[in-house]
Amino acid sequence: MSTLRTLVHDEATAALPRLTPAEAAVVRRELAELAAGESGGGLFEQLRKLAAAVPERLYDDSARVLLRMHEIAGSGNLQSNLSSLSTVRACFDLGLVGGDTPPAELVVGRGHIAPAFYAEHYVRGAFPFAPLTTLHRGGLTGVVHRDLGFGNTMRYSLGVGVHQAVGLAWELRRRGDGRKVVCLAGDGELQEGAAFEALRFAHEADLDNLVLVVDANGKGIEPLAKPVSRDYLAAYLGQVVETDGTDDNAVRDSLEGLLAAPGRAALVCRTLKGAHSFRPPSASGAPGRPSFSQTTGPLLADRLRRTKRQAAVFTADMAARFGFKDHLPYVNTGLAETLSVGLTLSLPDPTLKVVATDGMYYMDSLSMLTEATTGARNLLVLAGKSYGQWGGAHNAVNLLGGLLNTRVYEPVTAAEFQACLDRLDREPGTAHVVSAVDARFEPPGTDCSDDLDGAVWVTPPAPGRSGTAVVTFGYAGVLVAEANADLGVPHLHCAALEPELPAETVRLLAGVERLLTVEYNGVQGGFGERLRARHLLDAEVHGVRGDILTCAHAQQLRRHGMAPDQLRALLGASAPSFAEGAAKGEEVRGAAASA
């Protein structure tokens, strides 16, 4: 991570209009202190020093701080943080957080409750206010990270925290260290296959130094089908204690007792949780345009009604994201995305098998997806793509394209989506992966529905011109079309990750002075690199490089050089040769990275 000044200054300054006068005054003092000279040490130590330099506390209740953080950010998982807040406070009270010699090691498996820790650090005087205004906007990450005072880092996988805790407990015992490991988890998270495996190992290895604290709020993203099983936890962990998870004292006393008692155990904290994702109230009160992914459910339902096709629809808590509710029957497997794929394996060949998953989740289920793409017919994978708070692997769609018997598409119109289903009907032995972006946009007037595996000119090339041309994949075509509205750069749009371009089109692209490819997913092994390898096109590949930053969609575009004004600068760059064009592209990406 960056130094504190780099992390905070620009984003906190941009947040000033969204702050109260009192908040803005404190933030300006903190920024002035930063400008006067940043102190040394790691990021967490710098946060402590800045908090000490500007000690005024605007709020003394971390629940209120959490609300303000999410109101300022406009997104996040407020209710998840609130449901675990008493547990977080207990961890502070018992010295598991912030102390030099904690009585036990803490692993936060429920990784997206990091803001609850930031809020509690703030009211206890260890965090300044300015970083809190940068949540999900390229400043404070919404998931736990070592640089921010946590003992572990989480990236994409639910259930991985239980693995981290079990591994640490095993290592402490091997070294003869008598301390216990406390793992904070959620009841939805425990539906993950990874969590099952880790708890089984803890039982079989007879680890006596593990305390699993479960936030049992009865919800993952959707309500759980059944509450977490006390018998299941007891089978692997022995002692199970239940308490009121909304009572600070009850949680603290229960956890303290389990830390003092011999053996491993589970503490089940009964809590309440509202809506999974925070949404600021609409100024108009009217619902906004649905994301493209939310339109896929109604489109699929309409097709099934028209064709009278038998279908089995499985999703790991993603029904709302794909617009399934009130439109078609589906089976929610909870947060067990591998199970969603596995349930398709023995269904009859003619049945349309739909697995609706997420840009994070399908990274966990690649092994089962390989089994499905080689053994199941009529398989449709709806691969949701969101570069929001959680982030995700930038090349996940590309990895799916590398599975056997798989074709990957990213439709941006209803007609393109239906064309994907038409193609699956014609070729049921090939698994069709449909990357459904969460973005909200006006559907373009031109699409690839007539030739899904080919391409369509959004802006046709003018006769005799051979300057710059751009080829796009999926959602990037929408972004480039907006940027290119009055530039007139020839623009070829593709819906397939590996398009089949006619020889005439390839010759035209090979003859331009500067060829750009733009993709919203990652460039590593992606659309542009595949065009270069397949057709030997001397293309400048533009897209997300490195890891996806954890911030809201609009900021995500800008930070990865994909905002319309950045794309316009890239398209309009004067570049008589590919080398100069590539240099300009790197300049735009560099400016985006430092924004």
User: For residue 504, how many other CB atoms are within 10 A of its CB?
Assistant: 8
Per-residue pLDDT tens digits for 347-366: 999 999 999 988 777 777 88
Per-residue pLDDT tens digits for 189-206: 898 888 999 999 999 999
What is the percent of the chain with per-residue pLDDT over 90, rounded to a whole number? 66
DSSP string computed for 117-137: HHHHHHHTTSS-SGGGGGTTB
Residue 383 is inside which H or E element, if any?
A: strand 379-385
Helices 85-93/114-123 angle, 10° precision:
50
Sheet strands (E) in 15-110: 104-108
Per-residue pLDDT tens digits for 150-165: 988 886 667 789 999 9
Per-residue pLDDT tens digits for 523-533: 888 999 999 99
What are residue 86's phi and psi, to 5 degrees? -65, -35
Distance CA 46, CA 286 (A): 43
Per-residue pLDDT tens digits for 423-461: 999 999 999 999 999 888 988 889 999 999 999 999 999
Sheet holding 239-244, edge to edge: 104-108, 180-186, 210-216, 265-270, 239-244
Is residue 70 within 8 Å of 101, Cβ to Cβ? no
Residue 543 is inside which H or E element, if any?
A: strand 539-544
Distance CA 251, CA 105 (A): 17
Per-residue pLDDT tens digits for 227-238: 999 999 999 999
